[in-house]
Homo-oligomer: A and B are copies of this chain.
Amino acid sequence: MSGVYEQLRTRIREIGQLSAVEAMLEWDQETYMPRNGLSARAEQLALVAQLAHERRTSQEVGELLAQLDGNIQDEAAATNVRETRRNYERATRVPAELVGRIARVAAGAREAWKSAREASQFSLFAPHLTELLELKREVADRIGFVEHRYDALLDEYEPGATRSRIAGVFDGLRRPLIELTRRLGEARVQPDPSILERHYPAEAQSRFARMLAETIGFDFKSGRLDISVHPFCSGTSPGDVRLTTRFNERSFSSGIFGVLHEAGHGLYEQGLDPEHSFTPRGLAVSLGIHESQSLMWECMIGKSHVFWEHFYPQCQQTFPEALKSVPLNAFVAAANAVRPSFIRVEADEVTYSLHIILRFELESAMIEGSLDVDDIPEAWNAKFESLLGIRPETDKDGCLQDIHWSTGTFGYFPTYSLGKLNAAQFFAAARSAMPDMDERIRRGEFATLREWLRENVHCHGQRYRADELVRRVTGQSLSSEPFLKYVRNKYEAIYGL
């Protein structure tokens, strides 16, 4: 048996290495590649992806998996076999011809989306979306599902999650978040977010952000921070984790909180078990768990009062022009201003999940076929008004704002909110384990929390699926309660309610 597993493991590692090479080529494309390198790079990426796909779906892997059907004692081997089987089955159920067709249709859809967004006219994008939905329904049917067709797509980003389960959790969020948003909007004293839109020199932002990332524990011997148009974290192994950001001189948040966000992802990647690199046991669980790590460091820690009790004096020295005369409380309030707005990526922690609930409900209805493409703009605007109390005036500020659907990505949006819920639930558990956590943060001591996360979350890789991991770490299933408790406590204090 162990000989068969060793053979499979060699193949699994090859697939993992090819994915790492792909990530490296993509990182380079977004950071340093000269612009005329684009067409050759596209070919290289396609070739490497194809080589990985051939291996993932190879007869050899299928046969090795079949021979390993019995009970596997070794935990890491069991994890790797389970997840490789999952990937093999998902990949072999969708014929290459269909994958190629989707790629071609998506390429056209993406261009159409750009033009439609430019013109703020959904009808230009509608026929492409209709075609993509048909193809993605076919994918879902081929992959198979128990209850909802949407589940087959969701499973790609959040293995094991289902529409019903997510809908149940989101149902617990909706009313309380609408209610909290309303109460905060009515508070007598409102934060002044413009404080964070003063002049913040890029070079100073870069220095300060690097210092923060290093202080919370991001290891620059095992990683980098570079500039790209769209910030991301690309981890190819715990020894090589690449963060990117951009520094806008009129936005403290996009640079500084952006780096804390990516560094949170980076700490997860650096905390994976190097012994299992390039196999599922050494890879992150899911998007929802990954996002929990970035959000915890960006929002729960990085936008907390105690965090800035430690760093604010240094921050004022770094940005004297903008912050010299701003008191700590006003700065923290500005970083946590809550206000309904049209654009998801600019939304605050409280209203953000309302944007996600909207997308989740619409896209699952589209996939199930209960929402016609032509009715999307009206459905979007009506639902937006009921959730956020304001109504987009244009498609550009409404249903055309996100790129996801134009690339055939359905089932991804909910992972953003799952990230917030996971983060709050993990954070509450960490607090119980370390009652003096606020004191530690106030002193700038992050090692204890980081090690707790490493031991409890990071080092397991894909040993447990997301829901089981949450149960093991926090003692209960995922629920909206810890998040609601967290936002209520935090924002009532900030808004003086």
> A interface vs B, CB < 8 Å?
14, 17-18, 20-21, 24-25, 28, 32-41, 43-44, 47-48, 51, 219-224, 226, 236-241, 277-278
Q: When the two chains form their complex, are residues A240 and B20 in contact, meaning their CB atoms are under 8 A apart?
A: no
Q: When the two chains form their complex, are residues B277 and A240 in contact, meaning their CB atoms are under 8 A apart?
A: no
Q: When the two chains form their complex, are residues B222 and A37 in contact, meaning their CB atoms are under 8 A apart?
A: yes
Q: Which residues of B contact A39 (CB under 8 A)?
A: 239
- Name the distance in Å between A19's Cβ and chain B's nearest Cβ: 10
Task: Report how far A224 CA is from B38 CA in the complex, Å.
Answer: 14
- Name the distance in Å between A276's Cβ and chain B's nearest Cβ: 12
Q: When the two chains form their complex, are residues B47 and A17 in contact, meaning their CB atoms are under 8 A apart?
A: yes
- Name the distance in Å between A365's Cβ and chain B's nearest Cβ: 42
Q: When the two chains form their complex, are residues A36 and B222 in contact, meaning their CB atoms are under 8 A apart?
A: yes
Q: Known A17-B43, A21-B25; judge A36-B224 contact (CB<8 A).
A: no
Leading 4 A-B pairs by shortest Cβ distance:
A37-B240, A36-B239, A36-B222, A40-B237
Q: When the two chains form their complex, are residues A240 and B40 in contact, meaning their CB atoms are under 8 A apart?
A: yes
Q: Known A34-B239, A47-B17; judge A277-B25 contact (CB<8 A).
A: no
Q: When the two chains form their complex, are residues A40 and B221 in contact, meaning their CB atoms are under 8 A apart?
A: no
Q: Which residues of B contact A36 (CB under 8 A)?
A: 219, 221-222, 238-240
Q: Which residues of B contact A226 (CB under 8 A)?
A: 32
Task: Report how far A278 CA is from B46 CA in the complex, Å.
Answer: 15
When C-beta atoms are compared, the residue in chain B nearest to A239 turns out to be B36
Q: Which residues of B contact A18 (CB under 8 A)?
A: 47
Q: Which residues of B contact A28 (CB under 8 A)?
A: 24, 28
When C-beta atoms are compared, the residue in chain B nearest to A46 turns out to be B17
Extra contacts, 10 of them, besides A34-B240, A40-B239 (Cβ < 8 A), are A18-B47, A20-B40, A21-B48, A24-B44, A33-B240, A35-B221, A36-B239, A40-B278, A41-B240, A43-B278
User: Which of A43, A224, A278 has the most CB atoms of chain B within a 10 A radius of its CB?
Assistant: A43
- Name the distance in Å between A125's Cβ and chain B's nearest Cβ: 31
Task: Report how far A21 CA is from B226 CA in the complex, Å.
Answer: 21
A and B contact pairs by CB, cutoff 8 A, 11 listed:
A17-B47, A24-B25, A32-B224, A33-B240, A34-B220, A34-B224, A35-B221, A36-B238, A36-B239, A40-B277, A41-B240
- Name the distance in Å between A126's Cβ and chain B's nearest Cβ: 36
User: Which one of B33, B41, B51, B222 lies within 8 Å of A34 (CB-CB)?
Assistant: B222
Q: Which residues of B contact A34 (CB under 8 A)?
A: 220-224, 239-241
Q: Which residues of B contact A25 (CB under 8 A)?
A: 21, 24
Q: Which residues of B contact A41 (CB under 8 A)?
A: 240
Q: Which residues of B contact A32 (CB under 8 A)?
A: 32, 224, 226
- Name the distance in Å between A217's Cβ and chain B's nearest Cβ: 15
Task: Report how far A47 CA is from B221 CA in the complex, Å.
Answer: 24
Task: Report how far A148 CA is from B242 CA in the complex, Å.
Answer: 50
Q: Which residues of B contact A224 (CB under 8 A)?
A: 32, 34
- Name the distance in Å between A223's Cβ and chain B's nearest Cβ: 5
- Name the distance in Å between A203's Cβ and chain B's nearest Cβ: 14
- Name the distance in Å between A207's Cβ and chain B's nearest Cβ: 17
- Name the distance in Å between A388's Cβ and chain B's nearest Cβ: 42
- Name the distance in Å between A37's Cβ and chain B's nearest Cβ: 3
Q: Known A32-B224, A44-B17, A224-B32; judge A239-B37 contact (CB<8 A).
A: yes
Task: Report how far A18 CA is from B43 CA in the complex, Å.
Answer: 10
Task: Report how far A38 CA is from B239 CA in the complex, Å.
Answer: 8
User: Which of A34, A35, A238 has the most CB atoms of chain B within a 10 A radius of its CB?
Assistant: A34
Task: Report how far A278 CA is from B40 CA in the complex, Å.
Answer: 9
